[in-house]
């Protein structure tokens, strides 16, 4: 078989031309497009990697900030709880102290109220007893009892203490007016004579006496010279007893108007 070199050369030229044309107009654009695509993909991958790194960085920063926030929040909560507990304890202590103070005040007020009530009851009881006793003595008083009272009074004048006797004598000497002699009942002539005799012996000199009656004496008799008084009666016993029982130490006894009174015991 004879080879047609012209045909071979023409086909080879056509093939080479086809390859060049394909490379020039087909492969080159495709390869360029592929390269461009690869570059874009690589750029996108790099961007994605950078974004991922940036996102990781931001996530780490957010996690750190979140951890700091949680720690700060926990510290604030602990401080708030501690402060609340302290304030709660203060309020409880203050409430306990106020309650104890109030309880003490109430107990003291109750004690004072009870003491005041007991004092009032005792005072009213004493007043009632002494009032009944005084009324009974007034009802029982008689001339015979009064006579005995005069005798007792004269006997006690004879046994006066020296200072009491001197005080009465000094009061009489300073004035020398008639001695005021009072009794619950009018004294008989003999009783008046006996009283004057006892008075003369007491003063060491004769003295005039003005006799008057005073039912308030209740079985008793009194002598008064220049404001100084010597007296003895059942009422005086009751008054002394009532004062010693019912009058508190802090309450001063009522003063009589410039009249010095001495009960003859």
pLDDT band of residue 118 (cuts 50, 70, 90) is: confident
Q: How distant, in Å, are the alpha carbons of 199, 211, 214 from that of 193?
A: 10, 11, 19
Can you say whether the dihedral through the CA atoms of 249, 250, 253, 258 is positive or negative?
A: positive
pTM (two decimals): 0.39
- Tens digit of each residue's pLDDT (9 = 90 or more) over 5-59: 788 888 888 888 888 888 778 777 888 888 888 889 988 888 888 888 888 888 8
- Tens digit of each residue's pLDDT (9 = 90 or more) over 2-13: 778 788 888 888
Q: Is the pLDDT at 60 greater than 60, yes or no?
A: yes
Nearest to 233 by CA among 116, 145, 131: 145
What does DSSP say about strands 179-183 and 260-263: parallel, antiparallel, or unpaired?
unpaired
Q: How distant, in Å, are the alpha carbons of 17, 112, 254 from that of 251?
A: 149, 18, 9
Can you say whether the dihedral through the CA atoms of 254, 257, 258, 260 is positive or negative?
A: negative
Nearest-angstrom CA–CA distance, 176 and 179: 8
Q: Which residues pair with 232 in a beta bridge?
A: 221
């Amino acid at each position: 078989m004879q080879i047609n070199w012209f045909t071979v050369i023409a086909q080879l030229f056509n093939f080479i031309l086809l390859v060049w044309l394909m490379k020039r107009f087909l492969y080159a654009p495709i390869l360029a497009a592929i390269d461009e695509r690869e570059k874009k993909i690589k750029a996108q991958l790099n961007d994605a990697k950078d974004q991922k790194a940036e996102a990781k960085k931001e996530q780490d920063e957010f996690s750190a900030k979140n951890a700091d926030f949680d720690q700060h929040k926990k510290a604030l909560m602990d401080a708030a709880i501690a402060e609340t507990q302290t304030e709660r304890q203060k309020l409880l202590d203050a409430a306990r102290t106020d309650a104890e103070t109030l309880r003490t005040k109430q107990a003291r007020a109750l004690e004072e109220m009870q003491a005041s009530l007991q004092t009032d009851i005792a005072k009213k009881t004493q007043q009632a007893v002494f009032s009944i006793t005084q009324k009974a003595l007034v009802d029982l008083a008689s001339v015979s009892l009064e006579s005995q009272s005069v005798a007792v009074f004269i006997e006690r004048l004879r046994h006066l203490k020296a200072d009491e006797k001197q005080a009465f004598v000094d009061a009489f000497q300073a004035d020398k007016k008639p001695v005021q002699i009072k009794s619950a009942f009018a004294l008989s002539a003999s009783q008046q004579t006996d009283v004057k005799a006892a008075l003369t012996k007491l003063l060491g000199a004769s003295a005039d006496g003005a006799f008057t009656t005073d039912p308030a004496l209740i079985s008793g008799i009194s002598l008064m010279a220049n404001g100084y008084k010597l007296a003895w009666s059942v009422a005086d016993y009751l008054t002394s007893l009532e004062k010693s029982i019912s009058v508190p130490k802090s309450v001063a006894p009522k003063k009589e108007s410039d009249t010095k009174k001495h009960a003859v015991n």
